[in-house]
Structure 1
Amino acid sequence: MCGRITLRTNIHTIANELQAPLPGLETVPRYNVSPGQFVLAIRGADQREIVQLKWGLIPSWSKDAKIAFSCLNARADTVKTKPAFRSAYKSRRCLVPADGYYEWLREGKEKLPYLYEFGGGKLFSLAGLWETWTDPAVAGALPLQTFTLITTEANELAAEVHDRMPVIVHAEDRQAWLAGDEIPLVPYETTGMSARRVSKVVNNSRNEGAECIAAP
C-alpha cells in the first residue's frame, strides 16, 4: 500500500529534473498528499507534460466513481492482467513526483507513521497509470483524469514497517516507462533511503502543514 506522499519540491525543480516543460501553475509545499486529491504527474513519451490527476483510478468502462477507492494502488505482479489496469498499463503511463512517502506501523490500536525519504528529501518518481473517465449517469459530464500508483514487495528497510512499497523508477528508466516499455517493477535499493517516525498529525488527511513531518 502507498497511501500518502509528500511533494515539497518546487515546480521549477520538478520540471527540470523530470525534463518536462514548466506548466502554467503555481505550487505550494505539500506534506500530506492523500487519495482523492489532485496530484502532479508527468506523462507523454515524445513530448512530456506536467498535469494534475486525481488519485484513485477510475477505468473508462466503470459505471460509477466508487471503484476509485479500490484502485488507489495497483500490484506490480497483477497490473498487466487485472481488468482495471491492463489497458492503462499498455498505453497510459505516468510518473508521479514525490520527495517522501508515508507508511504506518501498527502497535496495538495505534498507527505510528513513518516517513521514507532519499537523501533527506530529494525528488524521486513513482510509477503510475492514468485513465480518463466520464460519468455515464450525468448528461454533459466533463471528463475526469485519474491515476493509480504501482506497488511492489518492500525492500529490507521498508519491510520493517510494511510488506509493500511504491515502485520507484530509476532516472534511466523513466523514458522507457513513459514509452510503454517493460522495466523492472521491483523494490528500490535501500542505498540513500531513510525512514523516521513522524507526528501522528499526518494520520488525518485534512492536516497539510509542515507539522506532518515533525518528530513525534
Structure 2
Amino acid sequence: MCGRYDLNETGTRIKRMFSVKQVPLFEPNPDLRPTDAALIVRLDQSGEREAVVMRWGFAPPFAKDGKDRINARGESVPTAYRDAYRNRRCLVPANAFNEWSGQKGSKIKWRITLRDEPLFAFAGLWDWWRDPKDPDSALVEAFTIITTVPNDILADIHDRMPVIVGEADYQEWLEAGSRALLRPVPSELIDVVVA
C-alpha cells in the first residue's frame, strides 16, 4: 500500500524529467496524504504529456460502499478499473514514499527512495470522481496509485508497494502499454531508512 508520499520538487525539474511544457502551480509537499491535491502527468487529447493537479483517491465503479481507493492492486486493475486502465493512465511524480511497520502504538515509519533517482514516478490511473455523500456535487478529476507485491527488502515492512515506472518506460505506460510494467522495483535500487 502507499498511504503517504513526498513530492518536494520545483516545476522546472518536473518539466524536464517528465517532458511537459508547463507545470501548474502546486505546493511541494513532503507529506502528501489521501484526498490531498497532488500533481500527476497524463496524456492530453492530442497525445502530448501534460501535468495537472488532481485529488488523490476516488471511488471506482465497482465500489458499492462508495469509499475512495487511494491504491489499486496491479493484479486486478485490468478488470476492476477496466476503462481507466485502457484510457486514463498517469504518472505520479514522487521523491519518496512512506510505510509503517510494528504494532499499534509503537509503529516505525520508513522512508523509501530510489537510490540514484531523487525524482521518480508511480504508475497511476485517473478518473472523474463525485462525492458519494453529495450526488449534486461537481465531478472532479482524481487518481489512484497502482500497487504490486513488495520486493525482498519491503516484504518485511508491508505486503504491498507502489509500482514505480522507470523513466525509459513513461511513454509506454501512458499509452496503455505492457502489463509487465506492473512489477516491484528491484531491491538493489531502493534505500529504506527510518523516517
TM-score normalised to structure 2 length: 0.88
Measured on the aligned residues, the alpha-carbon RMSD in Å equals 2.2
Alignment correspondent of 2:11: 11
Alignment of 1:18-167 (within 5 A): 18-25=18-25, 27-44=26-43, 46-59=47-60, 66-68=66-68, 71-82=69-80, 85-107=81-103, 109-119=105-115, 122-134=118-130, 137-139=134-136, 141-167=137-163
In structure 1, give the amino acid aligned to 2:72.
A
The verdict on how the C-alpha distance between 1:106 and 1:174 changes in structure 2, with shifts beyond 3 A counting, is same
The verdict on how the C-alpha distance between 1:174 and 1:75 changes in structure 2, with shifts beyond 3 A counting, is same
Distance (Å, rounded) in 2 between the aligned partners of 1:155 and 1:62 = 28
Matched length: 191
In structure 1, give the amino acid aligned to 2:67.
I
Distance (Å, rounded) in 2 between the aligned partners of 1:170 and 1:124 = 7
How far does residue 15 in structure 1 lie from its aligned partner after superposition? Answer: 1.3
Task: Say which SS state the counterpart of residue 188 (structure 1) adopts.
Answer: coil
Distance (Å, rounded) in 2 between the aligned partners of 1:37 and 1:108 = 25
The verdict on how the C-alpha distance between 1:121 and 1:8 changes in structure 2, with shifts beyond 3 A counting, is farther
How far does residue 170 in structure 1 lie from its aligned partner after superposition? Answer: 1.1
Give runs of ≥4 in structure 1 deviating > 6 Å. Answer: 60-64
Distance (Å, rounded) in 2 between the aligned partners of 1:6 and 1:121 = 14
Question: Is this contact kept in 1: 2:24–2:52, CA < 8 A?
Answer: no
Alignment correspondent of 2:192: 195
- Structure 1: segments with no counterpart, 5+ residues: 199-216
TM-score normalised to structure 1 length: 0.80
Q: C-alpha deviations, 1:67-115, integer Å up to 9, x for none?
A: 21xx111111111112xx1211110100000010000011463221000
Question: Is this contact kept in 2: 1:173–1:183, CA < 8 A?
Answer: no
Question: Is this contact kept in 2: 1:158–1:165, CA < 8 A?
Answer: yes
